[in-house]
Amino acid sequence: MSTPGAAGVTDLRTYNPLVKVLGPIPVMVYVVLTRDVLTPAVVALVVFAAIALLGRVRPRVLAAIALGAPVLCLVMTFSFGMLTDPALVDDTTLLAAVGPVELWSGALETGLATALRTVALMLIVLLGGLTTTGADLVRAMTQQLRVPYRIGYAALAALRFVPRFGHELEVIRGAHRVRGVAPGRGPAVAVRRQAGYVVPLLAGGIRHAERVSLAMDARGFGAYPQRTDRLRIPFRVRDVVLLVSFWAGGAACVAVAATLA
Amino acid sequence: MLAGEREDVRPPDGLARKVRFAYPDLVTLPLLDVQDLRVRHHLPLDDGGHRLAAPAPDGVDLAVEPGEVVLLLGPSGCGKSTLALATNGLVPHVVAADLRGTVRAAGQDVAATRPPLLAADVAMVFQDPDAQVVTGSVLDEVCFAPENLCLPAGEVLARAEAALRQVGLWERRGDDPDDLSGGGRQRLALACALATGARLLVLDEPTANLDPDGVEQVYAVLRTVAAAGDRGVLLVEHDLDAAVDVADRVVVLDAAGRVATAGSVREVLAGRADLLAELGVWLPTATIAALRLRGAGVAIDPLPLTAAELTAALDAQPALPEPAVVRAAHVPPSGASEVMASTAAPVTAPVVSVTGLTFRRGASTVLDDVSLDVARGDLLALVGSNGAGKTTLAQLVAGVLRPRRRAVSGAVRVAGLDPWRADPADLTAAVGFVFQNPEHQFVTGRVDDELAHGLRLRGVPDGEIAARVEDVLERFGLADLRDRHPFWLSGGQKRRLSVGTAIVCRPKVLVLDEPTYGQDRERAVELLDLLTALHEDGTTVVVVSHDMQLVAEHATRVVALAGGRVLADGRPDAVLGDEAVLRAAGLRTPPLARATRALTSHPDWRSVTRLADLPVAAPHGAAVGA
């Protein structure tokens, strides 16, 4: 929860969740519309720096991002590069040709731009996601956006199903394997195997959801149009400052990229 | 205008609430008043309509007064849970059903009120602790209900603190509920119920999913609630050994959902024990033991309800017949024994061998250097608290869990096979696994296909498959259900089918993971009898359980795990007789042993732990119990 005070200013976790999650949307839209390499690259670097300096993220998570983002970028550069129509880039250099597959430098550049856009968008989402808890986001949505609390809290309860489903799926997998369901390799067999998990997983999921909803009803969920907001999520001057700095930062990145180009 | 409307629907403030509560108290209305309640559930049909299930409960009257704990008993399917859900209108407002009769909670007609509006008057605790968690922290969880009731923030916190302190979780208010033990999560559910301020608590099998330590924790809290005297409790519970000293009154339903008998705990459980046994309602272990002894000619009167009362009753006897255990050493020492030698093949190499098994999941070590040999013909019980590693060990033995090489060291052999690498067709002949939730292991759309599946996989000829499937269908009472989808069976039928699919391949070892988890006594006993029969036919059985009396009755060997290590391994009377080991494993002495161990005047009776150890009953005496 947010703790007011000077110390909090450099801690992204103490800002209003809506600003962090929804504020960067104009920047994201702009990034999606770019076609060059530099703009998304600069945005990605700046956002990563913001996460590292202000996010108070655990070092392991930060290291995973620092390693994962370049690797993802590399993989996507080549895969998008392969998918680019050679006719569009046949004025550039042909780097390699293996049978019918040709790799043009222009295609690689398009691939890199697409990869960087994706990574930049991911980092922007992580900036909000890693510094916000689901409960705070729901609170801010009901308090400031006037989203009905029934929707917000039902979504929050549903989020708790995810790890449970993961565990349940693991058990069902083991169960089906020892019973020898669709053994062997190959995509067709794999699909058949996966299909077998659906019924028990759904049956278990529906039953669990019914039980949770009974428990919520029994605790007065939905009794009145409002519920007490025990924790207020404030919308302060510094949240406005953060919002403006997202946009200003985005504009600055564009300017820097233009200068470098 | 909108704001004005909101004001109107807000609940009355604290003072107004008190006035509303004060009224029923003045005229001494009960907290819960159920009259002539008859419920028929809607069973969905394929065309979108529904048909009506048989009525359960059927014409039930029941009241709960402030300060009393009313225990609701009955065989499975008699409508106990339905009645519990009807107290705040979840039946029929949320769970579709036709309802006749009236239910009044704190003076309000439940039929005319939406269930959430009754949260301030009726609080509920359900069976599955996992299915009651909504938020991400213990404190948020307890605040959830008072927030829904629109109490001022200060009052919300005050109630949350009081409730958490009462259940002993205040220090853990910042934790994720998932980090609590099973017993801890159920205490949290109790705190949530207390925080609503409701004066009626309805608990539906609150300890069915808990280990003995968890059961004790929940009942410790429930005792403080009952002792305070301002609330009333309606308790649906099958574990009478735990519930009997908390309850004041008992209402017993019969299989048709009608009230069979009602009265004070002693009046009903001791006075009408024969009737209850006839209905298939379980009695406290001490009462069953005393009835057996009566049958054997020991005049015990009145019937005891608790272990302590049984001790006193036995000590008061000038002389007792010799316990059966002295005459026939029933339990084989370390697997081999004269009993085994007479019934099964001579003991050779162990059929299951686990050597130096260590298994890690992420950063935590789930199993730590476990070594274990299971001899042919053993009925081995793996016991321990939730999270001790029992299920993981069982799954590794049966090849359900195929660990990554990095996560595991040590080896497992089952009937000469490596369960982590063996082909499923070979593995099904070596070891059968019965899951906690039977639905997990159903892989076909028909009951008979389900049984034939493993045999077809092994290439057994069609004629033999048909014969073996038929045999299992008959033995397990599933013959009329052969063309049903396994998911449409009842809970008990699913359980029988899951055992059937495992044994139809005639495995040398049968492994069962908490087969009695979440089931009532009747089904648990049915299953344990089935296991005993299989065991007598020569199948080696490994069962994961924390039902101490069932373990004491049936196992030939007990292995206690704690924190992933083997804490004790030996004969049931030795392991279950070691109070220090049991405590360390989060377990408790089974009720009968608790009674006999405290005896002062009959030293040769102190080793009696099983009902089967009691003196052989005279004719007519063995009517009660399993």
Do the Cβ atoms of A218 and B122 come within 8 Å?
yes
Residues 6 or more apart in contact with residue B587 via CB below 8 angstroms: B211, B212, B213, B383, B384, B385, B546, B548, B560
Shared domain for A52 and A78, answered yes or no, is yes
Shared domain for A235 and A179, answered yes or no, is no
A and B: number of Cβ contacts within 8 A: 163
Shared domain for A16 and A110, answered yes or no, is yes
Q: Which domain holds residue A162?
A: 149-218
Give the chain B residue whose CA is nearest to the CA of A219: B145
Per-residue model confidence (pLDDT) at position A7 = 58
Q: Does B437 touch chain A (CB under 8 A)?
A: yes
Please give the tally of structural domains in chain A: 2
Chain A residue numbers with beta carbons less than 8 Å from the beta carbon of B6 are 225-226
Per-residue model confidence (pLDDT) at position B144 = 95
CA of B497, closest CA in chain A: separation in Å? 14
The answer to whether the beta carbons of residues B131 and A211 sit under 8 Å apart is: yes
- Least CB–CB distance from B157: residue in A215, A223, A230: A230
Do the Cβ atoms of A135 and B149 come within 8 Å?
no
Shared domain for A72 and A180, answered yes or no, is no
| Range from A46-55, A218-227, B97-106, B202-211 carrying the lowest mean pLDDT | B202-211
Residue A140 lies in a domain: no
DSSP A45-91: HHHHHHHHHHS---HHHHHHHHHHHHHHHHHHHHHHHHHS-GGGGTT
Chain B residue numbers with beta carbons less than 8 Å from the beta carbon of A226 are 6, 10, 150
Residue A61 lies in a domain: yes
Per-residue model confidence (pLDDT) at position B16 = 44
Burial (Cβ within 10 Å: 0-12, 13-18, ≥19) of residue B123:
buried
Shared domain for A55 and A123, answered yes or no, is yes
| Range from A83-92, B25-34, B294-303, B495-504 carrying the lowest mean pLDDT | B25-34
Distance, CA of A161 to CA of A101 (rounded, Å) = 44
The full 3-state SS of A190-247, as one line of letters, equals HHHHHHHHHHHHHHHHHHHHHHHHHHHHHCCCCCCCCCCCCCCCCCCHHHHHHHHHHH
Judged against a pLDDT cut of 50, whether residue B338 lies above it is answered with no
**Which pairing describes strands B408-414 and B431-434: parallel, antiparallel, or unpaired?**
unpaired
pLDDT tens-digit profile of A182-234?
777 788 888 888 888 988 899 889 989 999 999 999 999 999 999 998 888 99
- Least CB–CB distance from B439: residue in A200, A208, A216: A200
Residue A225 lies in a domain: no
Judged against a pLDDT cut of 80, whether residue A176 lies above it is answered with yes
**Residue B390 phi, psi (nearest 5):** -60, -50
A217, A221, A226, A229: which to substitute to probe chain B, counting the most B Cβ within 10 Å? A217
CA contacts within 13 A on the Cβ side of B572: 29
Burial (Cβ within 10 Å: 0-12, 13-18, ≥19) of residue B440:
buried
Distance, CA of B72 to CA of B254 (rounded, Å) = 11
| Range from B43-52, B323-332, B514-523 carrying the lowest mean pLDDT | B323-332
- Within 10 A of A91 (CB to CB), how many other CB atoms are there? 7
Shared domain for A184 and A253, answered yes or no, is no
Pull the structure tokens for residue B214.
Answer: 């968890």
Residue A117 lies in a domain: yes
Give ∠ CA B73-B74-B75 in degrees, rounded to 5.
145
pLDDT band at B520 (very low <50, low <70, confident <90, very high): low
Shared domain for A63 and A108, answered yes or no, is yes
Going by C-alpha positions, the residue among B404, B407, B415 that lies closest to residue B367 is B407
Judged against a pLDDT cut of 60, whether residue B427 lies above it is answered with yes
pLDDT band at B14 (very low <50, low <70, confident <90, very high): very low
State the alpha helices, DSSP H only, in B229-351: 240-243, 265, 273-279, 285-295, 307-315, 324-327, 338-343
- Least CB–CB distance from B443: residue in A176, A204, A212: A176
pLDDT tens-digit profile of B110-136?
999 999 999 999 999 998 888 999 998
Pull the structure tokens for residue B565.
Answer: 């290590």
Judged against a pLDDT cut of 80, whether residue B335 lies above it is answered with no
Predicted structure pTM score:
0.85
* Mean of the per-residue pLDDT values of chain A: 89
Domains and CATH numbers, chain B: 285-323+616-623 (no CATH), 333-586+598-609 (3.40.50.300)
B437, B488, B503, B504: which to substitute to probe chain A, counting the most A Cβ within 10 Å? B437
**Which pairing describes strands B565-570 and B364-374: parallel, antiparallel, or unpaired?**
unpaired
B439, B444, B446, B501: which to substitute to probe chain A, counting the most A Cβ within 10 Å? B439
What residues 82-101 of chain A have any CB closer than 8 A to a CB of chain B?
A: none
pLDDT tens-digit profile of B271-293?
999 899 888 788 899 999 999 89
Pull the structure tokens for residue A23.
Answer: 């504020």
Pull the structure tokens for residue B379.
Answer: 């009925």
Average pLDDT of the segment spanning A133-161: 89
The answer to whether the beta carbons of residues B518 and B577 sit under 8 Å apart is: no
> For chain A, how many residues are written?
261
pLDDT tens-digit profile of B72-114?
998 878 899 999 999 999 989 999 999 999 999 998 999 999 9
The answer to whether the beta carbons of residues B554 and B528 sit under 8 Å apart is: yes
pLDDT band at B235 (very low <50, low <70, confident <90, very high): very high
Shared domain for A183 and A65, answered yes or no, is no
SS3 of residue B205 by DSSP:
coil
The per-residue b/e assignment along B64-89, b for 16 or more CB within 10 angstroms, e otherwise, is: bebbbbbbbbbbbbbbbbbbbbbbbb
Q: Which helix (H) or strand (E) element contains residue B32?
A: strand B32-44
Helices (H) and strands (E) in chain A, counts: 10, 2
pLDDT band at B153 (very low <50, low <70, confident <90, very high): very high
Q: Identify whether A234 is preceded by a cis peptide bond (ω within 30 of 0).
A: no
Shared domain for A13 and A125, answered yes or no, is yes
Per-residue model confidence (pLDDT) at position A157 = 86
Shared domain for A164 and A186, answered yes or no, is yes
Do the Cβ atoms of B401 and A216 come within 8 Å?
no
Do the Cβ atoms of B134 and A183 come within 8 Å?
no
Q: Does A248 touch chain B (CB under 8 A)?
A: no
What residues 211-240 of chain A have any CB closer than 8 A to a CB of chain B?
A: 211-230
Do the Cβ atoms of B119 and A220 come within 8 Å?
yes
Mark residue B284 as left, alpha or beta (left: phi above 0; alpha: psi -120 to 50; beta: remaining): beta
Average pLDDT of the segment spanning B38-67: 91
Dmax over Cα atoms in chain A, in whole Å? 69
- Least CB–CB distance from B148: residue in A211, A214, A221: A221
DSSP state of B546: -
B114, B148, B178, B455: which to substitute to probe chain A, counting the most A Cβ within 10 Å? B148
Pull the structure tokens for residue A75.
Answer: 């993989």
Shared domain for A125 and A247, answered yes or no, is yes
| Range from A86-100, A159-173, B139-153, B397-411 carrying the lowest mean pLDDT | A86-100
pLDDT tens-digit profile of B538-573?
899 999 988 888 888 889 999 999 999 999 999 998
Q: Does A199 touch chain B (CB under 8 A)?
A: yes
Residue A226 lies in a domain: no
DSSP B251-266: EEE-TTSSEEEEEEHI
pLDDT band at B518 (very low <50, low <70, confident <90, very high): low
pLDDT tens-digit profile of B350-391?
999 999 999 998 888 999 999 999 999 899 999 998 888 999
Residues 6 or more apart in contact with residue B134 via CB below 8 angstroms: A153, A156, A157, A160, A212, A215, A216, A219, A221, B141, B144
Do the Cβ atoms of B150 and A172 come within 8 Å?
no
Do the Cβ atoms of A227 and B150 come within 8 Å?
yes
Q: State the amino acid at position B199 in one-letter form.
A: R
- The percentage of chain A sitting over the pLDDT mark of 70, rounded to a whole number, equals 97
Do the Cβ atoms of B90 and A218 come within 8 Å?
yes
Q: Does A205 touch chain B (CB under 8 A)?
A: no
- Least CB–CB distance from B131: residue in A168, A178, A211: A211
What residues 41-80 of chain B have any CB closer than 8 A to a CB of chain A?
A: none
What residues 108-127 of chain B have any CB closer than 8 A to a CB of chain A?
A: 114-117, 119-120, 122-124, 126
Cross-strand partners of B570:
B558
The answer to whether the beta carbons of residues B105 and B97 sit under 8 Å apart is: no
Shared domain for A239 and A121, answered yes or no, is yes
3-state DSSP percent of chain B in helix, strand and coil, to 5: 45, 20, 35
Judged against a pLDDT cut of 80, whether residue A59 lies above it is answered with yes
Pull the structure tokens for residue B551.
Answer: 């373990």
* Mean of the per-residue pLDDT values of chain B: 86
Per-residue model confidence (pLDDT) at position B348 = 62
pLDDT band at B447 (very low <50, low <70, confident <90, very high): very high
Chain A residue numbers with beta carbons less than 8 Å from the beta carbon of B437 are 171, 204
Residues 6 or more apart in contact with residue A186 via CB below 8 angstroms: none
Per-residue model confidence (pLDDT) at position A3 = 45
